[in-house]
Structure formats: C-alpha cells, structure tokens
Copies of this chain bind each other. A is one copy, B any other.
Amino acid sequence: MRPTDVLKPGSTIGILGGGQLGRMLALAAARLGLHCHIYSPEKDSGAFEVARAFTRADYEDEAALAKFAAAVDVITYEFENIPAATAAFLSKRKPVHPNPKVLETTQDRLVEKNFISALKIPVAPYAPVHSAAQLANGIEKLGLPAVLKTTTMGYDGKGQIKIMPGDDANAAWRSLKNKPCVLEGFVNFQREVSVIAARSADGKVECFEVTENDHQNHILKTSTVPAKVTDETAKEAERIAAKIAKALDYVGVLGVEMFVVKVKGKQALMVNEIAPRVHNSGHWTLDGATVSQFEQHIRAVAGWPLAKPLRLGRKVQMTNLIGDEVHDLAPWLTLPGTSLHLYGKPDARAGRKMGHVTRVWPAK
C-alpha cells in the first residue's frame, strides 16, 4: 500500500463475506467513521444490516464484482475460501488486503504447512496423502491415531476423519471421496493457544497477547487470557506470528493456532493452522482490550497506524454460543462484567456459531 492509499474517514471498505466476522468488521469500521459495503452470496447475511451498502451476488458474477470494486476504496475479506479467480479479478481494480497470494497459501493445508516449515517454524507432524501409498507411508511415519483432512475447504471439524489403530485407513480416505488430503499426527499437547497478530501497510506488527483455547466437538468453545504459558513461550508465539505475517507480506489481522507441547521438560510450540482473517479466538478483544482485532484489521486495510493493544481486566474469557445455547441467554445477561454478542442469524442449527459472550474480571 502506498502512502497515498491512507483512507480518509468517509471512505468505503469493501468486505467479501457477510457472516459474523464481516458484521463485526463493519461495526468496527462504523465507529471509525468508515463506510462498509458487504459482498455476499447469502441472503440473511448478518453483516448487511450494519453496513451502508451491500451486494448480494455470487463470487463468480463478474458484473456484480466490477460494480462492487467501483463502489469501494479498498477490499478485504472475512474468510479464506474466496475463489482465487474472484480475488484476482478484484485486485486488478482495487487494492485487496490481505494480498490474494495469501489465499493461495492458506486455502490448501498442505501448501500452508510446507510454507510454515520452510520458515523453520515447527509444525505439527503431517504427511501428504494423494495416493494409497502415501497414506500408508504417512501412517508408518506418524503412527495412529491420526487425523486425515482434505487439503481444502475444511473448517469446524468438516472434511476430516480420525483414524484409530486397527481402522481401515483406505475406507476413511474413501469417506473423504479420496480427495487430496493431509494426514496429521496426534499431538500430545498441554494446551491449544493462538496469537492474533495485526500487520500494517508499513510493516509494523502488533500482537494481542497469547490466548488459550478450548474446543468441543472440533468447535472453539472458550478463549481465555492470560493463557497458562511461560513468558518465554508467549514471546516465542508472538515471534512466530510476526514471522509468518512478514513472510506473507501481510496487511491486516491473522490468527495463528498453535499447540503448546512439553519437550525435554520445557514448553515448546508447534503451529497447527493459519487463519488469514480475524479469528474466533480474538473475539475477547472486543470487550477485554483497548482495541479489538476488528478495529486493528480495519486500521491496517485503511492504511492507518495500528493501536497498541492493552488488556482490560485481570482475566478475560470468551465463550461461544453454539446452536440452541443461544436460547438460554438469561444467565449471561446478569453475570457481572459479561457482554453479549449475537450475530443476527435466524436459525439456531446444531453446531452453528450464533453469538458469544465475554466476561471481563476487572482489576482491583
């Protein structure tokens, strides 16, 4: 981004995707006096109602994309499965942040893991699976249990299957339609953590503090700060996130999920996954920090300086409201220090992220 690309208040940010992440980005942009234009193929996109304008059209609709690009000053996205052709089409017309090459890296688990490995950053053990022979080799190398995941399009536990000792590995692969896969070895981790990092157009990086995450049924359930990691581990986690952001020439917010493991009696880190966007494990920053991940992302894509995030409270915990948990709000509404966020989704389907709550324990 050139210095001339610093957006003035009143400029318009185009956002691809209209789910809760787009919605919370739009709310953050509005606070800063920036308009948003949401592009999403889905009706009832929760982001539509909090943006100045929206386009409901498919990602392949070039006429709609061209009109969208003409109406905005800069373009960003709320999820990583934007078709490559869409990103390429748009980036010829307006700046797209993070740059579309990031999508090429992160849309494919294997490309992503190879990319991180090449940076000499430890990655959870993995093996490519493009053939039955590779599957057998992978199991030989990583042992069982292991998880077989399609290289593309998986999230929240979709597109993956666990292989236990004695299971028919080939049958497992067939259940994923023999798509290109990655086999991920079992990691005996102490805890799961993530770092939400923001990188500005001029290359500065600000990390939110390391967050500890708990999953239920492959879906994030809680994120808590401070995480139970040593200062050394926390610093290393931030260093890893910053290194990845720099290597991707990243502008915006990214989430890096990591495992904390014990190696020779000491904590060590292994990267699990990169999310090239604001991330569920950073939702606590809306209420528990002096700047949110959403505002940091908007600042970065607008060419504005990043804020230095400071935690508010001695402890902060975010809990996702999944499926029909959203129907039982009463206890949250009166719990001291607790903020409710609902995403405006009409149907509380099982496994669907409907909202979240954040509890902040103020410092004494």
Binding site for B on A (CB under 8 A): 9-10, 23, 27, 30-33, 35, 49-52, 287, 290-291, 295, 299, 304-305, 307-308, 310-314, 326, 329-330, 333-334, 336-344, 346, 355, 360, 362-364
Q: Which of B291, B307, B310 is within 8 Å of A362, CB to CB?
A: B310
Given known contacts A31-B27, A346-B10, A308 and B336 CB-to-CB distance under 8 angstroms: yes
Chain B residues in 8 Å Cβ range of A52: 49
B291 engages A344 (CB within 8 Å)? no
The contact sample of 10 A-B pairs, CB cut-off 8 A, is A31-B342, A32-B340, A33-B344, A50-B50, A290-B338, A305-B334, A307-B336, A308-B336, A310-B337, A312-B312
What residues of chain B lie closer than 8 Å to A23, measured between beta carbons?
30
A-B pairs with the 5 shortest C-beta distances? A33-B342, A363-B363, A49-B52, A312-B312, A290-B337
Q: Which residues of B contact A310 (CB under 8 A)?
A: 336-337, 360, 362
Q: A305-B334, A363-B364 are in contact. List 18 more A-B contacts (CB 8 A).
A: A9-B342, A10-B344, A23-B30, A27-B30, A31-B341, A32-B340, A35-B344, A290-B338, A295-B339, A305-B330, A305-B333, A308-B334, A308-B336, A310-B337, A311-B362, A312-B312, A314-B363, A363-B363
- Beta-carbon contact of A342 and B312 below 8 Å: no
Q: Give the residues in chain B near A346, CB-CB below 8 Å.
A: 10
The residues of B that contact A33 with a CB separation of less than 8 Å are 342-344, 355
Query: Once the chains are docked, how many angstroms separate the CA of A313 from the CA of B313?
Result: 8
CB distance from A292 to the nearest CB of B (A): 9
Instruction: Give the nearest-CB partner of A354 in chain B.
Output: B33
Give the docked Cα–Cα distance between A313 and B344 (Å).
Answer: 31
Closest to A30 in B: B50
- Distance (whole angstroms) from the CB of A43 to the closest CB of chain B: 14
Q: How far is the CB of A306 from chain B (nearest CB, A)?
A: 8
Query: Could you tell me the distance between the alpha carbons of A355 and B33 in the complex, rounded to whole angstroms?
Result: 9
Q: Are the CB atoms of A290 and B362 closer together than 8 Å? A: yes
Q: How far is the CB of A56 from chain B (nearest CB, A)?
A: 15
Contact A360 B50 (CB under 8 A): no
Is A333 in contact with B311, judged by CB distance below 8 angstroms? no
